A and B are shown apart, each in its own frame.
Chain A
Amino acid sequence: MLVTRRSPLAVALLASVTLALLAAPVRADDRAAWTNATLDAGRMTRDDTDRAFAQTPVDGPAVAGDARVDESALRYYASQHATARVDAEIRRLRTLYPGWEPPADLYRPAADEQALWDLYGKDQIDQLKLEIERRTARQPGWRPSKDMVEKLRRKELRIELIKASDAADWAKVQTIAERDPLLVGADDLEVTWRIAEAAAKSGARDRAMELYRLALTGAKTAEERSGTVRKALAAMGAAAAGPLFADERIGPDGKGEFESLRVDVSRAALGDWLKGDAGRPLPQADFDRLSKAASAADGSADDAALIGWVEHRRKALPSAQKWFDLAAGRGAGAKAVLGGVLTREAAGRHGDALALAMTATDDTEVASLFLDLMAGDLTRPKHGEIPADRVARFAEIAEKLESGDAAQALGWYAHEARQSRAAAAWFAKAMAWRPSEKSAEGHLLALKALGDRQEFARLETDYRGRFPSLPQLRFEDPVRRVVGKSGPAPQRSCSALLAVHALGRTGSASDALATGWCLMEMQRAEEAAVAFEAARRGEGATAAEAAYGQSLAHLRSGRTGDAARVAAAGGLTPARREEIGRIVLAQQAIALFDGKNWSAAIETLDRRKAHVPESRDLMAMRAWSLYHLGRRSEAFDLFTLLDRQLSTRESRAGLAATGPVPYGRS
């Protein structure tokens, strides 16, 4: 029946109507057929039927469709929707022709409802219902046709079913389907698919297959057929939906209509295999099928990449690389690059792996992988020369991804290159992004090398609190530390030695040596030079170390020439001679720079650079010298490198001065 739900309002209405009617007088007349037909069609009001019952027949009985009855006026009024006139005309005709019935098609519901069917066709259900309400109000006695009511109800159920299906409420979908079995049909694939899905997901596999078969049979186009099988695969999985493939039609070119679906199934199977635990056997048939599809001229990039990953997992590295390169060629993007990098790395081609990674570091995953692969290079004990662009890119990505591990690697790299300011900065970032004991240690070492006693003390407390097993680091004068590694330990305490020195006593050569070092630590370089001079009287190692100390003392007090002279003559070890030489060159370069002797300064820096990597300060000085010489683009390149390693106020100032206008120069 048409009744859907009861509402209290309707029940009350029904009750009141019943009571009202029962109160009216009863006429026992046998116009049953006429009355029922009229009432059923709802075309007359209660008043009219009462009046009709009340009237007495005048003439002989007439029948429906009687040619004697002129219905033209009646039909005219009906077509004009002039209900009052229609009613009056009906009464007149009935009086004239008792037994006459108003024609069944008086209001031509079929034509009348065209507008409604239009709305129905456009799925504008709310508007349709509104229109029905309007018409019912406008034309008392008018009702939509049974057909419309039925179809409207079905449509509403359909909408409810689709909503429930979207919400994954399988039980509700099936309940609605049961309410109206005609919802299922070869005509309405969408609904059939959804009901089948609900059945499948609730475990009613047989019912689901039945529905999918029904859909397959009724499907009109190739898309609908393969769509049906696709839905079945998604809902039930490849194994359960397999039997549907048996209904496959072979086309004139010999290819089955479901071939692409078989490829989809293979793709999914391989995806699952990749995700699963290691050791599961490879689904060979699926692998072969997808490989064939991927290697075809119109194969997709993603499929090629997928095969690449499968081969990578199976450790078939050359094959994997081939597939990844194919995928990259087809534009697979970062995923293919990722695979390509990993296979090259696994094959031991580290440089190639890094080079490839650098082409796609815009992608976060590739960038992360690049960081992981290169971090070891920077911190290996004898890493040799690493291309500057690689280090620069490494630093850039470390900054962009805020990678604590990468920052730590850069810290150690800078530390080893004696670039303590850069090292300190990178270790500070490492501690902010991924604190660890090694980073803490590195940071403190760098601060020590810079001689930043205050910062050292502040952070040492903090770091030791967080990493109790941090090794003890004493803050010492950097020069002293270098010496302390190789020279003999002082024999007596500094205060005692200095007391002796103050008295003007000379003491032994070794005492003089120790005194010299004490004076250096107390920043009394000129006096230290004198003490070292005395110590050079000693023999062998003592004399050599005294010469070394004296050179340093001369350097400290700015007597570069004297320092060089002593270093050349004093029997220093080659290493120490070189060390002094480097400092001498640095000081000479600085002096030249201060004297605005740009090219000489650069020359001196070049000589120094032949022996030791250039520190940031000297690099900056070089860049400024180039700038003053008018070699602006070279200066810019150098500032860019500096800025990339570590962006500071100084490096940015250099960029601003040497760069193109957008950097802010007027």
Chain B
Amino acid sequence: MIVLSLARPHRLRLLFVVLTGIGLLVAANLVGRSLPTRAVAAARPADVSLRGSLPVPGLWAAWSARFVTPEGRVVDDVNGGISHSESQGYGLVLALAADDPTTFRRIWAWTRANLYVRPDGLASWRWQPGPAPNVRDPNNATDGDILVAWALGVAGEAWSDPALTAAGRRIGRAVWDAAVVTTALGPALLPAVDGFGTGSRRDAPVVNPSYWVFPALAEFERAMPEHDWAAVAATGAEILAATRKSATGLPPEWASLAGGNVTPADGFPPVFGYNALRVPLYLAWTSGVRRDALAPFMARWNAEGGTRMAVVDLKSGRDVEPLVDDGYRAVAALVACSLEGTRFPDALRAAEVDHYYPATLRALALIAVNTRHPTCW
């Protein structure tokens, strides 16, 4: 070390210099010349409403022009122009986020007149264009009902419309009564009333991790506290914690909870794909920082050199099919924002839309950034 080899005066001078330098350093820091900081505090959950939370108004204009018919049907252009309770639900959420009650009511009117025909108050999940009957599969899809109930509840409060509030509560109650089952890991969401519960298949109960719409469940806990929605959310967290222990750390599209374990379900390709892509979206959308929950997605997607996303084969751990659309990148950007405060890229803030699913994911990611991580904006 230089210091020790110098004669004493030198050492003293160097000491002086070092001390002065330190003093300057201290002064510099005190003066507030700040260095890049890590992700900052998330907004408190009660403060931020879904209403009006979409930060790119042109995006709603484009999305609704392209995907919402005058009757209020939301068209999935990639899946043969069908509609489903999921697309209707996302349409309602986005209309609310764009503070557009007119289009919201149009979408809701079509949804309840055409999909909510089941006696138990849940929606038949699928509507196909063409000759009647347009609804051929009466089964529900629980994530669609959750999205619809969430949007209705928040809209009813935001626009002071008791009809919307009442309808949202009815559907929420229906989800609890018909689609929540007790499992070894806690109360869990059945993907549909038929076909996934005990007695329907050997590896029952089978769940879809991406059906846990965490921000919706948090809202249900607040607005319908007579049911233990927090326990349902906790079960979802348990399931994801279990899948984090796997080789890839990623959740499967369909998981069996038989025997209290979480394994990819029989009969479905054991991949992390288009469905499960929404898991980190919903996680990053909730309040509270969940570093370890988001870490596997961050590690997989935001490697050095940029964002790399693909459908992953969970057995081999290999990428199977690349996911190139901006919509999917937006989910990766949201994760990076949530974990490291990385600014949400300008390129992903455009108003143009292409296909239904990625366009919807991008819009939802924008809402999540705006409501949960405003410093990334």
**Residues of A with Cβ closer than 8 Å to B?**
1-7, 9-10, 13-14, 17-18, 21-22, 26-28, 32, 35-36, 39-40, 42, 46, 49, 126, 129-130, 132-133, 136, 143-144, 149, 152, 163-164, 166-169, 171, 274-277, 364-365, 367-368, 400-404, 431-436, 462, 464-466, 468
Q: Which residue of A lies closest to B292 (CB)?
A: A171
The answer to whether A129 touches B30 (Cβ under 8 A) is: yes
Complex Cα–Cα for A401 and B289 (A): 38
- Residues on B with C-beta less than 8 A from A126 are 32
Among B19-27, B204-212, B296-304, the one that faces the other chain is B19-27
The answer to whether A401 touches B166 (Cβ under 8 A) is: yes
- Residues on B with C-beta less than 8 A from A5 are 29, 35
Complex Cα–Cα for A436 and B114 (A): 10
> Which one, A143, A365, A368, contacts B27 given CB within 8 A?
A143
Complex Cα–Cα for A132 and B30 (A): 8
The answer to whether A466 touches B132 (Cβ under 8 A) is: yes
Given contacts A7-B28, A130-B31, A143-B23, 19 further A-B contacts (CB under 8 A): A3-B22, A13-B24, A14-B24, A14-B25, A18-B21, A26-B10, A35-B12, A126-B32, A129-B32, A133-B31, A164-B41, A169-B291, A276-B228, A401-B166, A432-B109, A436-B119, A465-B134, A466-B117, A466-B133
The answer to whether A149 touches B30 (Cβ under 8 A) is: yes
Q: Which residue of B lies closest to A14 (CB)?
A: B21
B324 at the interface (CB under 8 A from A): no
The answer to whether A3 touches B26 (Cβ under 8 A) is: yes
Q: Given A22-B13, A167-B289, A403-B166, A2–B32 Cβ distance below 8 Å? A: no
Scoring B residues 211 to 241 as 1 if CB is less than 8 Å from chain A, else 0, what string do you get?
A: 0000000000000011110000000000000
> Which one, A4, A39, A167, contacts B42 given CB within 8 A?
A167
Q: Which residue of A lies closest to B20 (CB)?
A: A17
Q: Which residue of B lies closest to A171 (CB)?
A: B291
The answer to whether B21 touches A10 (Cβ under 8 A) is: yes
Complex Cα–Cα for A274 and B225 (A): 10
> Which one, A39, A136, A277, A367, contacts B16 given CB within 8 A?
A39
The answer to whether B19 touches A40 (Cβ under 8 A) is: yes
B116 at the interface (CB under 8 A from A): yes
The answer to whether A7 touches B41 (Cβ under 8 A) is: no
User: What would be 8 A-B contacts, judged by CB atoms less than 8 Å apart?
Assistant: A5-B35, A39-B19, A42-B20, A168-B42, A274-B226, A275-B227, A364-B162, A435-B116
B33 at the interface (CB under 8 A from A): yes
B17 at the interface (CB under 8 A from A): yes
Interface of B: prevailing SS: helix
Q: Given A465-B132, A466-B132, A364–B165 Cβ distance below 8 Å? A: yes
- Residues on B with C-beta less than 8 A from A152 are 30
> Which one, B13, B167, B170, contacts A21 given CB within 8 A?
B13
Question: In chain B, residues 1-53, which have Cβ atoms closer than 8 Å to a Cβ of chain A?
Answer: 9-10, 12-14, 16-33, 35, 40-42, 44
Min CB–CB distance A237 → chain B (angstroms): 14
Interface of A: prevailing SS: helix
B202 at the interface (CB under 8 A from A): no
> Which one, A13, A42, A143, A400, contacts B163 given CB within 8 A?
A400
Complex Cα–Cα for A152 and B135 (A): 67
Question: In chain B, residues 114-159, which have Cβ atoms closer than 8 Å to a Cβ of chain A?
Answer: 114, 116-117, 119, 131-135
B195 at the interface (CB under 8 A from A): no
- Residues on A with C-beta less than 8 A from B40 are 163, 167
> Which one, A22, A400, A431, A432, contacts B162 given CB within 8 A?
A400
Q: Given A18-B14, A18-B17, A168-B288, A10–B28 Cβ distance below 8 Å? A: yes
Q: What 7 A-B pairs come out closest when comparing CB atoms?
A: A465-B132, A14-B21, A167-B41, A133-B31, A168-B288, A402-B163, A10-B25
Complex Cα–Cα for A431 and B247 (A): 52
Complex Cα–Cα for A250 and B317 (A): 63
Min CB–CB distance A169 → chain B (angstroms): 5
> Which one, B10, B165, B225, B289, contacts A168 given CB within 8 A?
B289
Complex Cα–Cα for A436 and B19 (A): 84
Min CB–CB distance B83 → chain A (angstroms): 15
- Residues on B with C-beta less than 8 A from A149 are 26, 30
Complex Cα–Cα for A577 and B134 (A): 49
> Which one, B22, B42, B289, contacts A2 given CB within 8 A?
B22
